[in-house]
Amino acid sequence: MAERPKILVTQRVPDVAYPPLETIGEVEANMEEGLIWPYEELLRRGPGHDYIFCLLTDQIDARFLEACASATPRLKMVANMAVGYNNIDVEAATRLGIAVSNTPGVLSDTTADLAFGLLIAVARRIPEAERFVRAGKFKGWGPLLFCGADVHHATLGLIGAGRIGKIVAKRASGFEMRVLYYDVYRLPPEEEATYHLTYAPLDELLRESDFVSIHTPYLPSTHHLIGERELSLMKPTAYLINTSRGPVIDEKALVRALQAKQIAGAGLDVYEHEPAIEPELLTMDNVVLLPHIASASYATRNQMALMASNNIVAYHEGRRPPNLVNPEVLG
């Protein structure tokens, strides 16, 4: 009888993830909620597993993959419970014949909801006003009390028009917003019409938008896509929203732009050196800061966890994983 495969789950994930894995193999799991193993601990535990179920906060680099590829049993697959996979050295995995999968699609609506929530929160100063009330400072209505910016009929600029960007555009239509977008690949005319999108070069988008929302993947080409020059092009009344990846924004440049009142504010769910945040941002009332929760609804996280497990099960059963990032490993 063949030995059951060994599966490592690196962090505490929704309960729905475990039964499919336990059906096919022996599961070793980090069950302490919120605990992220340091890299050296991950490197110690990883080798000797057939499959690894990981998350975006796990560093799956070439050194780790090589150690797992040279161990017995040999690592066959890394299943990432995230749409992004910049935490994994996919090139090294492919060279070593290790499959990599992700969990796209299921989090798009939930992330778009949060992006729009951030936009409204920072525009209408909702967190700032809520802190004011909790501090016992509310003494009655006033004509200038926490006046903010209107969202309806404003211009929204989307950097990235993939799944999430297009869904944000759908949300914006309910607020009768004009929506510009910039992407490396322009959408077909019929998609632009469906989502009421108008293409604009990046500089033009930055100059014209009242809100700029980032929905691009993190790649070498998007590192610090928004830096000092780009921020200087924005209106002094404009807001920057980021629910994509932190390093897309030069965080120090953002701090300087906010301090100089080059832009009106920002709403951030991700950070350049996450979980570290530029200290100045923590002191600013015109910045809304969230702890990377864009996909954090029960339904969505359950779907993501189950999708990651199903990718492993499919590979184990000799089927093509539904969300395989590097199909060339299958030959």
Question: Domain for residue 55, yes or no?
Answer: yes
144 and 282 housed in the same domain: yes
Domain presence at residue 209: yes
If asked whether residues 89 and 186 sit together in one domain, one would say: no
Regions of the chain where pLDDT drops below 70: 1-2
Q: What is the pLDDT of residue 3?
A: 86
Q: Which domain holds residue 36?
A: 6-104+298-330
Residues 226 and 314 in one domain: no
128 and 242 fall within a common domain? yes
Same domain, 138 and 83: no
Does residue 191 belong to any structural domain of this protein?
Answer: yes
Q: Is residue 67 part of a domain?
A: yes
How high is the pLDDT of residue 304? Answer: 97
Q: Out of 22, 192, 274, 280, which one is annotated catalytic?
A: 274
Do 28 and 77 lie in one domain? The reply is yes
- Do 269 and 237 reside in the same domain of the chain? yes
User: 202 lies in a domain?
Assistant: yes
Q: Is residue 74, in this structure, part of any structural domain at all?
A: yes
pLDDT digits (tens, 9 = 90+) for 237-287: 999 999 999 999 999 999 999 999 999 999 999 999 999 999 999 999 999
58-64, Cβ contacts within 8 angstroms, sequence gap of 24 or more? 58/10, 58/11, 58/87, 59/87, 60/87, 60/88, 60/89, 60/93, 61/89, 61/92, 62/89, 62/92, 64/39
* Total tally of structural domains belonging to the chain: 2
Query: Burial, 178: exposed, middle or buried (Cβ in 10 Å; 0-12, 13-18, 19+)?
Result: middle
- Please check whether residues 66 and 121 belong to one and the same domain: no
177 and 307 belong to one structural domain: no
Residue 292 annotated among the catalytic residues of the structure: yes
pLDDT at 331 (0 to 100): 80
- For residue 296, the tally of other CB atoms under 10 A from its CB is 15
- In a domain, residue 166? The reply is yes
Residues 199 and 89 placed together within one structural domain of the fold: no
Q: What pLDDT is recorded for position 2?
A: 65
Output the pTM of the full model. 0.91
CATH number for the domain spanning 133: value is 3.40.50.720
Q: Is there a domain that residue 1 lies in? A: no
182 and 267 assigned to the same domain: yes
Q: Are 86 and 180 contained in the same domain? A: no
* Residue in 245, 272, 278, 316 annotated catalytic: 245
